[in-house]
Chain A
């Protein structure tokens, strides 16, 4: 096979028609660029969401009041107030592998200190809460079990609260007033930024769960229970154990609570973006096929236009295979060229999108390789018919062609 020579011939032909070559490849360029940009931006968004889901804590299982079948999370936290402190204590006591359990009440309250005031979310939690969420303290210490037992008026506060209430004072040891009750600040959290629901995770005041229930929100029911599983493998088992335990405590019947793990939350959060990616991927795929048809179209025109050239080649000794390979290589070079330019364009445009919108972009090597290979395959598939047609020409007829 005179492959090198044939490749040289094909490249010369493409070089002679630079503008046409680029225009022919344009369909592929745009298709591949779309695929690469989609995948890069999608991956970036996914990694962002995953990072934020991970910031919820490690191996976390959440229990919400309200049944999944009757609305579940849609009812919102605490919409039907059926979870109790005793439920949380029972889980802590009886579920094997639950390394930390924290019942939780959430409330928005006006907090005063230092002559300033600030509306923030007040969380009632157990001392294990920071461990569950993987949160760390910047200064001071977390309140203790003793504080929880004695419904102590102590608080750990986030950075947003610090900057609003204690702009130039060290908050440790200071007093904040919630519902006119004085709470002593014992700890300050490290900054964490926004979570993937868009809320400021630093805008919190954490007080012992019992203090929150008796003194702040004054209610008997929990907004939720957070459980940390020992290992990722044990999550689903523990999830089942919790469900069984709570069901048993309620004496069966329709469950009035929902147990979710972190992965399920992540799935819910990425489901929309997955649908979008699939949709855009389909559009990109279609544009690749359209690009392939464009190549086929131009190659067919090119074969007709170059009938005399083909005749000359056949007359001086080209085999049908040489002619077929020449046109096939031309189509492949066009589509691979389109693929490579498309990858460059795709990476470039996703970088622009990321810098404009502040999204992270993850260019996947797999996507790049797949895109280039797919475009080569498109070149072969859509180049084959024109190439075959060219190779079937009769030298005399081709030479006579006007």
Chain B
């Protein structure tokens, strides 16, 4: 049961939420425009999209997830490390596993 239903400990301000939201939207629109307008292609396109994704990941962590706040940042750090390990496994694992496709074709 939430004892503090009246929200005594505010998480972030309206301003930080709006900034985070606006930045996320912009970082999502850029890749869409890049793809639709064929401004970039191939490797450069992929690298740009990945970079923008990582940037958005960081923005969400700081503006929405409040990684720096909370009484016990230890839990935060542990969760973050595990999360990063798993994200790394998903991405690197998939690339490793699917690379056979390139070899086959």
| A and B held together in a complex | no
